[in-house]
Amino acid sequence: MPSYPILYSFRRCPYAMRARLALSISGQVCELREVVLRDKPPELLAISPKGTVPVLVVGDGSVLEESLEIMIWALQKKDPQGWLRPDHESMAMMQALIGECDGGFKYHLDRYKYPQRYAGVDAQEHRGQGSQFLAQLNTQLETTPYLFGDRVSLADRAIAPFVRQFASCDRSWFNQQPWPKLQDWLTTFLDSEGFQQIMQKYPKWESGAVGSLFPPS
């Protein structure tokens, strides 16, 4: 295939999901290399020793190692839905909310979802702590259907994969919480064509092989 940017990705990783969402809406065709986290390819570790996904290698050889960086790179090339130009507030406000998601909320999400990985952790306590961020999102969604207005923005798509993961730990508990706006927002995201498209399955990429074209045509 012609040489496209190379995306190292893992289907179920929420960071990789947000990167794929932006690459897909922006129509940036990539060679997707599906990584298995317990068996990372040496090609990935050679260009990005920190060993996380997603990683995007672009045409000039630059390596983008952060999911948000990949989103912004793609959207700066083409942003057909105006994700970088929210109806309300600013890029800085969106980045601040995404920072809260990636910081405190992710910390509690990990300890709620995988308590066995941490010593002396009480999953329910972390569910309660993480809920504070979700209640805040619900309040924000009381005035508009999306986090920063009447349209999808960078923040919606950067944060939704993490809310999905939190919700799926115990979906019936999540559905019982007093967050009707957040529940609708999540359902709209999960039902969206964009989300379905980025969740297509790809075989594990093997060194030396050609990856899969993404987004799928």
Ligand X SMILES: N[C@@H](CCC(=O)N[C@@H](CS)C(=O)NCC(=O)O)C(=O)O
Contact positions with ligand X (CB under 6 A) in 28-47: 37
Distance between CA atoms of residues 143 and 44, nearest Å: 43
Which span (7-15, 151-159, 165-173, 204-212) binds ligand X, by CB under 6 A? 7-15
Question: Dihedral angle at the C-alpha atoms of 46, 49, 53, 55, nearest 10 degrees?
Answer: -60
In angstroms, give the least distance from the CB of 182 to ligand X: 22
Shorter beta-carbon distance to ligand X: residue 67 or 212: 67
According to the binding rule CB under 6 A, does residue 15 interact with ligand X? yes
Distance between CA atoms of residues 39 and 18, nearest Å: 22
One of 53, 134, 137, 182 touching ligand X (CB under 6 A):
53
According to the binding rule CB under 6 A, does residue 9 interact with ligand X? no
One of 24, 26, 48, 52 touching ligand X (CB under 6 A):
52
Q: How far is CA 23 from CA 96, 97, 102, 169, in A?
A: 22, 21, 20, 27
- Long-range contacts formed by 58-67: CB under 8 A, 24+ apart: 58/5, 59/3, 59/5, 67/15, 67/16, 67/18, 67/19, 67/158
According to the binding rule CB under 6 A, does residue 48 interact with ligand X? no
User: Residue 141 is which amino acid?
Assistant: L
Binding flags for ligand X, 65-94, as an x/- string (CB under 6 A)? -xxx--------------------------
Shorter beta-carbon distance to ligand X: residue 103 or 128: 103
Shorter beta-carbon distance to ligand X: residue 5 or 54: 54
Q: Contact positions toward ligand X, by CB under 6 A?
A: 10, 13, 15, 37, 51-54, 66-68
